[in-house]
Amino acid sequence: MQSTISVPASEDGGPGSPELLTALLARWREDPGATYQNWFLWEERVKNFRSIRRGLQQVVAEIQAGTFGVAYRGSSLETVVHSIAEQRQIFKGADHAFLWKPKLRIPDIYESPGNQRAFGHLLDTCVCCTTEPQVLGAIREIDKVGIKGLGPAVANLLYFLHPTIMPPFNTAIVNGYNALTGAKVKLGRWEEYLAMRRGILTLNAEYRRLLSNDLGAIGGLLFDLGSSRYTAPPRADDVSAKATWMADLAEVREEGARAAKALAEARQEDETHTQVQGWLRDLGKALGYDVWIAANDRNRALNGGKLGDGCLTDLPGALRGAPGAEAIRLIDVLWLGRESGRIVAAYEVEHTTSIYSGIVRMLDLALGPEAHALEGMFLVAPDGREGEVRAQLARPAFSRVADLKVHYLPYGELKANREAIARFGQGMKPIQAIARNLI
């Protein structure tokens, strides 16, 4: 088959027959252990887009103000990249490219003020722009600067700003792309990444019905190929090679039982998260508050109904038009005064997911016009996560949230006391009594 990939390909050319690649995609979508089901369809992935964008805005603000610092550890950039690295296995090790390596003096965005400003300008441009030419123009500008050690790993930041324009990037994705297409893309250079991107867009357009406009889907496929979960279809018209590959694909199918168990455990975690949201929903209603459930959670099944049953279906008008309204809509549970329509308490449930993303959603609320009316902001998590919560709130980027006296509400305290509070409690005092002050 004639290759349409815009990078050097092997003499076989192209990604193999459409029939075989379609078979691979169909199997991959069904595989509980592949990235499509365990990451791409993961609801927390979508919730993190806003928090990562907000974090990158903080990085830009600090660079522009000259307060970013000269180290990765403890910086606002570390906070953002750490959140990305927690996005399941596909982004594991995403922070490696940004770690300061003193012997090599790379990446040179910590000690060189000019390079740091150029990096900030790239992020600022991509945060604000909306079109492909603008994003690509910003990349070409940073490439001209030639910052030592700062290469296309930055694409992982840009993916969370423009998921339909920028595919994610790591060694496994490059290896998967080369295996699938016969290309010879190398790591470390923007021109190589951009060439691979063109090829990815071509593949994505051809097989979009099995993929998505969001390039995370095809990025996940390439990751699974590059990390050897799957073998790329043979590009040569060889009957024996095709038969061997189909047998390999069948072997992967046999591994599905183990993967299904892992996915079931992940879904059990989601169910626990939903259950805790349900406790907070019922408790808020019992105490006389209107309750808002995160917009992307309200249709989750709970006790024969839906999590959003009996809750607000829209935020009050003042909140809908407030800065950061999209992030506020994704806060797990809000309690609002029935007469005032103002947010009285906000709850982020962090069962196993990143504490960071919940705090960022709180930050949008803390910086908004509703902050003065808040009587409590709570991070609700398993009893053993208090140390993680304290460590995240100690970051300078979250000082505004910390000023509002965010509390840690352990599952155990909520479970043990919720029924008594519902029967005998009034206002926020009972909740504040069982929560722990983190300041």
For residue 83, pLDDT over 90 is answered with no
Which DSSP category does 232 fall into? Answer: P
In DSSP terms, 302 is beta-bridged to: 305
- Measured CA to CA in angstroms, residue 172 lies from 226, 338, 349 at distances of 4, 52, 32
The pLDDT, as a whole number, for residue 372 is 63
Contact 312, 268 (CB under 8 A): no
Structure tokens at 387: 């140390």
| pLDDT recorded at residue 352 | 61
Output the six-digit token pair for 361. 């959603």
Residue 4's pLDDT band, with cuts at 50, 70 and 90, is very low
Confidence of residue 255 (pLDDT cuts 50, 70, 90): low
Strand partners, 345: 335, 376
Please tell me the number of Cα atoms within 13 Å of 324 on its side-chain side.
19
Share of the chain above pLDDT 70, in %: 82
Asked if the model's pLDDT at residue 259 lies above 70, the reply is: no
pLDDT of 102 above 70: yes
Which pLDDT does position 1 carry in this prediction?
33
List C-alpha distances in Å: 24 to 17, 163, 170, 236.
Answer: 11, 23, 21, 16
* Confidence at residue 225, expressed as pLDDT on a 0 to 100 scale: 95
- Looking at residue 207, its pLDDT comes to 95
Which residues lie across from 410 on neighbouring strands?
Answer: 381
pLDDT band for position 6 (cuts 50, 70, 90): very low
Query: Both tokens of residue 321?
Result: 């038009």
Whether residue 247 is predicted with pLDDT greater than 80 in this model: the reply is no
Q: State pLDDT tens for residues 317-340.
A: 777 777 667 778 888 999 999 988
pLDDT for 14: 63
Residue scoring higher pLDDT (358 or 419): 419
Tens-place pLDDT, residues 168-207: 999 999 999 999 988 889 988 999 999 999 999 999 999 9
Calpha distance 52→75 (Å, rounded): 14
Between the alpha carbon of residue 283 and those of residues 119, 294, 414, the distances in Å are 46, 16, 10
Are 53 and 333 spatial neighbours (Cβ–Cβ below 8 Å)?
A: no
| Average of per-residue pLDDT across 282-290 | 95
Query: How far is residue 320's CA from residue 378's CA, in Å, rounded to a whole number?
Result: 22
Domains of the chain: which residue ranges? 18-253, 266-437
Query: Distance between the two ends of the chain, CA-based, in angstroms?
Result: 64
Region of residue 14 (left: phi > 0; alpha: psi -120 to 50; beta: else) = left
Max mean pLDDT among 263-277, 350-364, 388-402, 405-419 falls in: 405-419
What's the pLDDT at 261? 55
What is the per-residue pLDDT across 261-270, written as a single tens digit (0 to 9) for each?
A: 554 554 555 4
Tell me which residue of 214, 188, 199, 181 sits closest to 40, measured CA to CA. Answer: 214
Chain-centroid distance of CA 234 in Å reads: 33
Neighbours of 152 (CB within 10 A): 24
Residue 11 has pLDDT above 50, yes or no: no
d(CA 376, CA 366): 11
According to the model, what pLDDT value does residue 390 have? 80
Global confidence as pTM:
0.69
User: What is the predicted pLDDT for the residue at 89?
Assistant: 78
> Do 276 and 282 touch, CB atoms closer than 8 A?
no
Residues 6 or more apart in contact with residue 178 via CB below 8 angstroms: 184, 185
Of residues 243 and 190, more confidently modeled: 190
Give Dmax (Cα) for the chain: 76
φ/ψ (deg, to 5) at 38: -90, -5
For the residues 25-53, what does the mean pLDDT come to?
86
What is the average pLDDT score of the chain? 84
Q: What's the confidence (pLDDT) of residue 84? A: 87
| Residue 241 to residue 151: CA distance in whole angstroms | 37
pLDDT tens digits along 109-167 = 999 999 999 999 999 999 999 999 999 999 999 999 999 999 999 999 999 999 999 99
With a cut of 90, say whether residue 309 has pLDDT above it. yes
Q: What pLDDT, on the 0 to 100 scale, is given for residue 244?
A: 60
**Alpha-helical segments (H) within 31-154:** 35, 43-65, 76-85, 113-128, 132-145
In whole angstroms, give the CA distance from residue 256 to residue 261: 9
pLDDT number for residue 7: 38
C-beta of residue 319 within 8 angstroms of C-beta of residue 370: yes
Number of alpha carbons in the 13 Å side-chain half-sphere of residue 423: 4
Q: What is the pLDDT of residue 388?
A: 78
Two tokens at 416?
Answer: 């043990």
